[in-house]
Amino acid sequence: MNATYKTQVAIVGGGPAGLLLGHLLRAEGIDCVIVERQTRAHVESRIRAGVLEAGTTDLLRRIGIDARLNAEGMIENGLNLGTPDGLIRIDIKALTGNHATVYGQTEVTRDLIDAAPARGLEIVFEAHDVALHDVDSAQPSVTYTKDGADHRIEADFIAGCDGSHGPSRRAIPAHAVREYARDYPFGWLGILADVPPCHDELIYATGNDGFALASMRSPTRSRYYIQVPLTERLEDWPADRLWDVLDARFAGLASRPIARGPALEMSIAPLRSYVFEAMHYGRLFLAGDAAHIVPPTGAKGLNLAAADVAYLADAMIAHYRRGDQAGLDGYQTKALARVWKTERFSWYLTELLHLFPDQGDFKRRMQIAELDYIAGSEAMQRAIAEQFVGLPL
């Protein structure tokens, strides 16, 4: 059986970018549908980062999906860099008048999915063989199969929010694409555990044994990471081995000892900087990881997706409300300007805080000198603070 229906915006991908875009459009009465490959449970089970920029929390408040965020989000007024000489606290509140919020991406995704039915936002989970068609025509469409039936969605626009492995990028011809990539020679080994955090704020530590991050999800749930060689295998890392490393990396930096407990989740993820410089082609617009990847060092993945979606939603709303095409025509330029500034910030922190294989003594001295300069420079601390809390949308 073939089913064909029309909508205004077909959104491919039901992660943070697709979900947030769907809600922003629905809040303005624009018809849209999200086509998601995975099950709802799979999408909601993903463990990702957990720091929201002020602009991202503003978007959640704009659509009124902020009740749990307000109740459970943890205000981050400061950011700490751990160095061999001690902590450098960057007073985000004093330097920017703003703050970041610790609230897991998992929770954001869950809130957006829970709110979808009441807002008339349709999410098709377990859609298979998703394909984009005629994206450079006035009648683009998305096809997929579900429960053995073929489906076709005809739309005015397609939003490619399908992450770094989705089909949207492939719908754009190579002649329209420029790609930039930097793969880092290490990964992050992460652990999530129901133990109280070792510090009240995040600590990004660079020790003579490498990078470590102390983060959190709540007063009783912690998230930690250490850099590891790309050759490391998860099966070689029982939780106790990681707790031992974290003890050493945060000794003398954190205000409390590292509390230990069983891992709720452990994973190793590579680090990459990547930009796919074709965020608009015909009636197709890319947003989020479909267009770019940042290393997690700046906690920017979700926030950059949210910024893309804020720009794209406002452009689509202007098109439907006032017939104004300028936002859509200017989307790629506006989004990429922020993408590159965010890529630079994430790259900068990654280069500053990690030990690169065979980096030599000189680069380490440059890292230490940079940290020493940051420690004494309000201007540098303000620059880091304003980028961490998020540049204005």
What is the binding site for ligand APR (CB under 6 A)? 12-18, 35-38, 43, 48-49, 105, 127, 130, 161-163, 165-167, 288-289, 301-302, 305
Residue 2 structure tokens = 């073939």
From 153-161, 250-258, 293-301, 317-325, span contacting ligand PHB (CB under 6 A): 293-301
Window 211-230: contact mask with ligand PHB (x via CB under 6 A): --x-x-------x-------
Is residue 204 helix, strand or coil?
A: strand
Separation of alpha carbons 222 and 167, rounded Å: 35
CB of 37 to ligand APR, least distance (A): 4
Sole residue written with tokens 């109740």: 71
Residues constituting the chain: 393
Q: Which helix (H) or strand (E) holds 43?
A: helix 40-45
Q: Which helix (H) or strand (E) holds 390?
A: none
Is residue 293 helix, strand or coil?
A: strand
Sole residue written with tokens 């959640």: 60
Residue 114 structure tokens = 């829970």
CB of 21 to ligand APR, least distance (A): 9
Report the residue number, 212 or 299, with the smaller CB distance to ligand APR.
299
Which amino acid is it at 50? G
CB of 49 to ligand PHB, least distance (A): 4
Partner touching 215 among ligand APR, ligand PHB, none, CB below 5 to 8 Å by kind: ligand PHB
Window 53-92: contact mask with ligand PHB (x via CB under 6 A): ----------------------------------------
CB atoms under 10 Å from CB of 291, counted, come to: 29
- CA angle in degrees (0–180, nearest 5) for 300-301-304: 75
Partner touching 163 among ligand APR, ligand PHB, none, CB below 5 to 8 Å by kind: ligand APR
CB of 224 to ligand PHB, least distance (A): 9
The residue number with the shortest CB distance to ligand PHB is: 215
